[in-house]
């Protein structure tokens, strides 16, 4: 006789799970580019996921999501540089596409 495990999610947890997965799928449909609102969602649900910040003149930075918004705000508030875009690196994008069974464009 097999063992049957049940993970009991309450409705609110289930909705948060679905929303966070939809956020990632939406980012993948944008070729890995992340909007400001999506960055906030990622920070809540996947704080240790690494993203790339592409600056106007500075070198690109690979940092965890939980630091990204603060870093962008710090650099832009001091007029050091501006953020051009935030995105997943190609390796992360490929891994997420594999998990969600999304074909490469």
- Residue 11: predicted pLDDT: 62
What distance in Å separates the CA atoms of residue 83 and residue 72, rounded to the nearest whole number?
7
Closest CA to 35 of 75, 94, 105, 87: 87
Tokens of 2: 């097999």
- Summarised one tens digit per residue, pLDDT across range 35-82 is 999 999 889 888 999 999 999 999 999 999 999 999 999 999 999 999
- Summarised one tens digit per residue, pLDDT across range 14-26 is 666 667 788 888 8
Residue with tokens 């999501």: 65
What distance in Å separates the CA atoms of residue 93 and residue 76, rounded to the nearest whole number?
27
- Which tops the pLDDT comparison, 92 or 18? 92
């Amino acid at each position: 006789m097999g063992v049957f495990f049940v993970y009991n999610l309450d409705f609110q947890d289930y909705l948060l799970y679905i929303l966070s997965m939809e956020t990632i799928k939406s980012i993948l449909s944008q070729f890995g580019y992340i909007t400001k609102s999506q960055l906030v969602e990622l920070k809540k649900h996947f704080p240790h996921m690494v993203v790339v910040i592409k600056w106007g003149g500075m070198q690109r930075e690979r940092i965890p999501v939980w630091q990204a918004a603060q870093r962008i705000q710090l650099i832009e508030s001091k007029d050091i540089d501006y953020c051009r875009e935030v995105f997943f690196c190609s390796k992360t994008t490929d891994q997420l596409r594999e998990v969600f069974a999304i074909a490469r464009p």
